[in-house]
Structure 1
Amino acid sequence: MAKSVLDLFELYNLVIARGGLVDVINKKLWQEIIKGLHLPSSITSAAFTLRTQ
Structure 2
Amino acid sequence: MRTPINRLPIMAKSVLDLYELYNLVIARGGLVDVINKKLWQEIIKGLHLPSSITSAAFTLRTQ
Determine if the TM-score, normalized by the shorter chain, exceeds 0.5: yes
Q: Give the paired residue count.
A: 53
Q: Normalising to structure 2: TM-score of the pair?
A: 0.83
Greater radius of gyration (CA): 2
Unpaired runs of 5+ in structure 1? none
Considering fraction of residues, name the structure with more helix.
Answer: 1
Higher RCO (CA-CA < 8 Å; seq separation 6+): 1
The 4+ residue runs of structure 1 with deviation greater than 4 A are none
Root mean square deviation, CA, Å: 0.3
Q: Report the identity percentage.
A: 98
- Give me the TM-score of the superposition, normalised by structure 1: 0.98
Q: Which runs of 5+ in 2 are unaligned?
A: 1-10
